[in-house]
Structure 1
Amino acid sequence: MKVIVSVFNNLLTDQRVEKVCKTLSEDGVYNIELIGNNWGGLPEMTRSYPVSRLILKSKILRYAYVEFQWKLYRKLLETADRNTILLSNDLDTLLPNYLVSRKLKIPLVFDSHEIFTEMPSLTGRFTQKIWRSLESFIVPKIQYMMTASESYADWFHKTYEIPRPVVVQNFPLKMANTQDYNQLNSPKIILYQGVINPYRGLDKLIPAMADIEAELWIAGDGPRKIEYQELTKSLKLENKIRFLGKLVPSKLREITQTADVGLSIEENHGLSYYFSMPNKISDYVQARIPVVVSDFPEMRKVVDEFQVGKKIANYTELGKKINTVLQNGKQFYENSLNSAADKYCWEKEEPKITALFEKVKAENF
């Protein structure tokens, strides 16, 4: 049984797609073929299954989307046969997959990593209407769907009156607790990992560092990086804030384990952020470092259930909450983080994927 997986990125750092492909390929039933593109470059990578990346000539994202739709459609037609399951990741791959699924009469699984039409980058723009039209046309026709948070599943279920999607959360593989609590950082380290986009709280965090006795490490890249570097310089905080750039997953895991607190402090600017369970929270938990998170539905569950850190209702309390967690120290949260790590791990999500694909196979072949 062939599974053709498609996603709009260069594949290197998309850990969700990598884990899903690995889970299915190791099941022994499915032959995986993964399709991405060269948006963001063509870094070297090796996988245990065939990988291809479509070459896009467009330099502007909206044109790249259009180019990708056509090229992906042709690639899928070349690659798929009647013994194929299509796996479309996010709305920006859905149209070609849907058309090929209908044309060849083969099943399609849609994995929505976010609520694409409610992303801050689309809010209030004309392109939001285009994507919403596409979403409202295809999603109600999708028979098999999974998504990345309980709140996302509820939203799709209520908005499009479809069966509730299977929830497969993007947790990391379970890790042993390797923290050495006798080795203390001086100064202590605050970690933000992820894309440097608007509405991630970084423009509030950087000024707050003036009153926090610690270093801030920002692991990631993105469109606001230069702006935030300039903000850091203007506030004369270069000695307290380090921009580490985009790191491969293995290096990022090393960095994460050294931190004293991990942050996920998104702003409420669109339902996709508000209902998200960011990957970095479970990454922090597996590394056994406490967290400070926005008081949003999915994020607050982690803190409320396991007491692994603090929530912020607004940014005025950001410095206070970070300082409290730093003063408590990592060992204070050890037992809570160990319990949370048992729950927030990929091993608990894998059976949901294999069950969904067994259902697809049983109902279509």
Structure 2
Amino acid sequence: MVVLNSFVNDARVYREAKEASKNFRVTIFARHADHLPIEENICGISVTRHSVTIDKLRLRFVRPLRYLELAVRFIWAALRLKPTVVHAHDLNALPIGYLISRFTGAKLIYDAHEMWSEQEVQQSLPRYLQVIGRWFEKRYAKKSDSVITVSDSIARELKHRFDLKAIHVIRNLPSYLEAPVSKIESPLRKTLGIGNEDFVILYQGGLSSGRGIEFLVKAFLTLDDRRLKLVLLGDGSLRKMLESMVPENDLGCRVFFLSAVPHAELLDWTAGANVGVHPMEGTCLNHKLALPNKLFEYIQARLPVIVSDMPEMSAFVEGERIGLVFKDTDVAALASCIVRLANERDLYRRLEKEAARVANAFTWEQEGPKLLSVYEGLGLNQGPVAESSRQT
């Protein structure tokens, strides 16, 4: 598996690697970062992080040179490894995965975690880079032996754009949590000193633009119910700005900021909340078609949810009757949803009951085997890993 991050808290890659490890020996190539080991074994998965020396040189055009160095390092290591499958996660890994597959004869899988060309961050790139990115994706997606993505809407869009014969949907579902930790015993409430009588609104995930987090903070600050607490669990470029939005006398007693926690511990923290919120903005097509990780993590912790009216996400929430939907960026509508769930106990209990039902129906235990079916569709179904030296 090829990723261009440092493989820390990457839930999707970890889940897929664990699933593949049932039938394969799995190695993940990632980028090295300070304080992380070069070589690591995580639950039977080999992780190799490659250093980038170009960052130490004061050169122009560092980003393309950095990418070129990583590509060379990954390809050289893969030649020694001789994989049977190369699983490239996201577009930035796809050209490298393609070259590895050509040099080693391995099958190539492209795993599109997002609609790359339609992400908000890509819209800020120079036009020529956007064009190059779209060309690369179309060219190498068509050359892949199989393509995977995360939602039906994105699958339909990619299939149409790239004229693909087939595309597989493997959603970002967490493992089933049979009995979430009680709210009062959750590390979230224990760490922050939040009492059992308080009603906690939780946003977890990256604190970056386009996710509507600033509108969540604005909505919350219009409410004067002291029982209500807002917790933002995650890191990102907006954190300082978000902290500056909170009046000093409220920071520490009603609004809390927590850094990201290890993914294996995340649901214990999530379970300490009463409601999970995802106020994503409709700033790009990728947001409109997304079915985010955090939605299913909230559900697995048995939380009712409040989400913005992004088509794929809101259709799921309304269809499964697990929460409330508001118009994106509408501060008053978001505040109204919070008040309703905090005060209408019958509504809250009904949504909580539905969340428990959905938690049992949408799990990685049901979704994960689809990945092995993708491998089998490539003719790679030769039995358990102990009887094979196959490598992905």
The two structures have a TM-score, normalised by structure 2, of 0.84
Shift in Å, 1:22: 0.8
Counterpart selection for 1:280 from 285, 288, 294: 294
Counterpart selection for 1:158 from 140, 155, 160: 160
Shift in Å, 1:211: 2.3
CA–CA separation in structure 2 for the residues paired with 1:265 and 1:250: 24
**1:52-91 equivalence runs, <5 A:** 52-57=48-53, 58=55, 64-81=66-83, 84-91=84-91
Give the stretch that moved more between structures: 236-245 or 139-148: 236-245
Give the stretch that moved more between structures: 309-318 or 256-265: 309-318
Give the stretch that moved more between structures: 323-332 or 285-294: 323-332
Change in CA separation of 1:117 and 1:78 when aligned onto 2, cut-off 3 Å: farther
Q: Is the 8 A contact 1:171 1:344 kept in 2?
A: yes
**1:17-28 equivalence runs, <5 A:** 17-26=13-22
Name the SS for the 1:121 alignment partner.
Answer: helix
Q: CA RMSD in A?
A: 2.5
The answer on 1:332 being equivalent to 2:350 is: yes
**1:283-298 equivalence runs, <5 A:** 283-298=297-312
AA partner of residue 282 (structure 1): F
**1:168-183 equivalence runs, <5 A:** 168-178=170-180, 180=182
Name the SS for the 2:103 alignment partner.
Answer: helix
Shift in Å, 1:246: 1.5
1:206 paired residue number = 217
Counterpart selection for 2:205 from 156, 170, 194: 194
Structure 1 vs Structure 2: percent identity of aligned residues? Answer: 26
Name the SS for the 1:185 alignment partner.
Answer: coil
The two structures have a TM-score, normalised by structure 1, of 0.90
Counterpart selection for 1:232 from 246, 260, 273: 246
2:29 paired residue number = 35
CA–CA separation in structure 2 for the residues paired with 1:324 and 1:62: 50
Counterpart selection for 2:138 from 126, 136, 139: 136
Q: Is the 8 A contact 2:182 2:271 kept in 1?
A: no
Shift in Å, 1:326: 2.3
AA partner of residue 348 (structure 1): Q
Change in CA separation of 1:341 and 1:160 when aligned onto 2, cut-off 3 Å: same
Q: Deviations over 1:178-202 (max 9, x none)?
A: 4658997332111111111101111
CA–CA separation in structure 1 for the residues paired with 2:94 and 2:88: 6
Counterpart selection for 2:334 from 286, 297, 318: 318
AA partner of residue 96 (structure 2): P
Give the stretch that moved more between structures: 331-340 or 255-264: 331-340
CA–CA separation in structure 2 for the residues paired with 1:62 and 1:204: 36
Q: Deviations over 1:235-292 (max 9, x none)?
A: 9555321110121113321110010110111111222221111100000001001101
Q: Is the 8 A contact 2:159 2:165 kept in 1?
A: yes
Q: Is the 8 A contact 2:282 2:328 kept in 1?
A: no
1:354 paired residue number = 372
1:95 paired residue number = 95
Q: Is the 8 A contact 1:154 1:164 kept in 2?
A: no
Q: Is the 8 A contact 1:177 1:338 kept in 2?
A: no
2:147 paired residue number = 145
CA–CA separation in structure 2 for the residues paired with 1:204 and 1:284: 20
CA–CA separation in structure 2 for the residues paired with 1:295 and 1:189: 22
Change in CA separation of 1:135 and 1:234 when aligned onto 2, cut-off 3 Å: farther
Gaps of 5+ in 1: none
CA–CA separation in structure 1 for the residues paired with 2:324 and 2:259: 26
Aligned residue pairs total 357
The answer on 1:105 being equivalent to 2:116 is: no
CA–CA separation in structure 2 for the residues paired with 1:217 and 1:208: 13
**1:289-308 equivalence runs, <5 A:** 289-308=303-322
Change in CA separation of 1:181 and 1:86 when aligned onto 2, cut-off 3 Å: closer
Give the stretch that moved more between structures: 70-79 or 229-238: 229-238
1:51 paired residue number = 47
Query: Runs in 1 of length 4+ with deviation above 6 angstroms?
Result: 181-184
Shift in Å, 1:164: 3.2
Q: Is the 8 A contact 1:257 1:289 kept in 2?
A: yes
Give the stretch that moved more between structures: 307-316 or 216-225: 307-316
